[in-house]
Structure 1
Amino acid sequence: MSIATLTIDDKQVSVAVETTVLEAAHEVGIKIPTLCHLKGVDDVGACRLCLVEVEGIPKLLSACTTTVREDWVVHTESERLRNYRKMTVELLFAERNHVCAACVANGHCELQTMAYSLGIDHVRFDYCYPKWGMDMSHPLFGMDHNRCILCTRCVRTCWHIEGAGTKNVAGRGGDSHIITDMNEDWGDSATCTSCGKCVQACPTGALFQIGVTAGEMERDPSRLNDIVTARRKKEWNV
């Protein structure tokens, strides 16, 4: 196994060459902000919050999809990166209709927590106010497109962990949205197993259990990685 030694925020780390910068940073206790990253599924670099600077490379690189290189010097915190991250989160709020006070995930929302951590108290961009609806056709779960940030965690969980392939993305640009099967009502899906893994994966209030009210939707996405690890090692805790 080939090993690469690099420096991340003045901390030296040696890891396998197939390790991502995000994983390498975690090895030395450095937390890089993410919204689309979820242990147990492949990374796609959708949210762009994990962008880092590498000395000698002019462009910013996504830590979750970039593998390490020998002698790299990586910076995960700078004024440039903080400004990029604040702008990204503000754009996420402006793109959809995030009314936190009336959201089932209020107080348990990763987007909301990210905004707090970046010191965002207002959005500098015009709100789009798109006319997105809700899908309440499923007997157990609901989908509110107004809260979706298109991180695709639900899609990747459905495909890579449950193996059902029920969720996907349709449309382009501002019209992009999560669909069920061939863009049918969730309750009419012939492939959905009603496992609820997509709901556990969702970082916002876009996917939720029917019956919960504002502030009640708590999740534990780490359980999804436990499933993947158990399958790989063939070790199950009964």
Structure 2
Amino acid sequence: MKRPFKTRIKTLKIDGIDVGAREDETLLELAQENDIFIPTLCHLEGVHDIGGCRLCLVEVKGTNKLLPACMTYAEEGMEVTTNSERLQMYRRQVLDLLFSERNHVCSVCVSNGHCELQWLAGKLGISHVGVPYLYPQLSVDASHRFYIYDPNRCILCTRCVRVCDEIEGAHTWDVMGRGTDCLIISDLNQPWGTSDTCTRCGKCVQVCPTGALFHKTKAVAEMEKRRDFLPYLRTMREGRK
């Protein structure tokens, strides 16, 4: 939940660069405003952050802990490092675990070439996975008239859950289970096509960073996502309150 807006400006350093920030501004937002790259998969402009993917971890002088940039607010005099050998190691380990936990086979995926997980792997220099694969056998839900949900390609970022709840107001999606047994489910774990709450808006499909949610009409490498509508819808929704 964001803090109430305040006009007070704080000054801090990110990677040695002096920047000014509002009190309600996170380090991730501040870095993006100043064209400083911090990787993330669960962050989505227009919905609240959860700090789930742990890819946006940064170093802050004075603490040995790595802090999620999307959940850490700017403070006066902060000295933040966004790219170090330690951070690169942790980020590659996170991606290793994401790839190994489910079945991400890029060559046969509808989002091949348009996948954020795939793009980040290339960006961070991941050429192979260094931990054993779990190879889960998860059932694909093709019961919906327009869309398909393949949990084998899901990274549990919960973007679909948050956009369905906060933007569409339907809350069709939620999370069931713990650890590697976690699954995104529709309603009370019923087939998506039988959901009474789904409005068929497709917002969840558009914000999915991988090929876990896609149109039935799309084949390999054809599923491009567009999410430029989110900030606008968020503003309109808040304006009606």
Provide TM-score, normalisation by structure 1. Answer: 0.96
The answer for the alignment partner of 2:4 in structure 1 is none
Q: 1:38 aligns with which of 34, 44, 47?
A: 44
Supply the AA of the counterpart residue of 1:97.
N
Q: How many angstroms apart in 2 are the aligned matches of 1:224 and 1:27?
A: 18
1:116 — aligned with what?
A: 122
Match of 2:167 in 1: 161
Q: Indicate which of 29, 34, 52 corresponds to 1:28.
A: 34
> Do residues 81 (structure 1) and 87 (structure 2) align?
yes
User: Which amino acid counterpart does residue 123 of structure 1 have in structure 2?
Assistant: V
In 2: Cα distance, 1:82 partner to 1:204 partner: 22
Query: Could you tell me how far 1:233 is from its partner in structure 2?
Result: 5.7
1:9 and 2:15 are equivalent in the alignment? yes
Residue 48 (structure 2) pairs with residue 59 (structure 1): no
- Tell me the percent identity: 55
CA distance in 2 between counterparts of 1:80 and 1:86 reads: 10
1:199–1:208: 8 Å Cα contact kept in structure 2?
Answer: yes
Indicate the SS of the match to 1:77: coil
Report which stretch shifted further, 223-232 or 54-63. Answer: 223-232
1:213 matched to 2:219? The reply is: yes
1:134 alignment counterpart: 140
**2:231 is the counterpart of 1:225:** yes
Aligned residues: 234
- Give a deviation string over 1:147-203, Cα, whole Å, max 9, x none: 000000000000000000100000011110100001100000000000000000100
Q: CA RMSD in A?
A: 1.1
- Alpha-carbon distance in 2 for matches of 1:113, 1:233: 35
**Where does the alignment leave 5 or more consecutive residues of structure 1 unmatched?**
none
CA displacement, residues 89-138 of structure 1 (integer Å, 9 cap, x when unaligned): 01100000011111000000000000000111100100000111110000
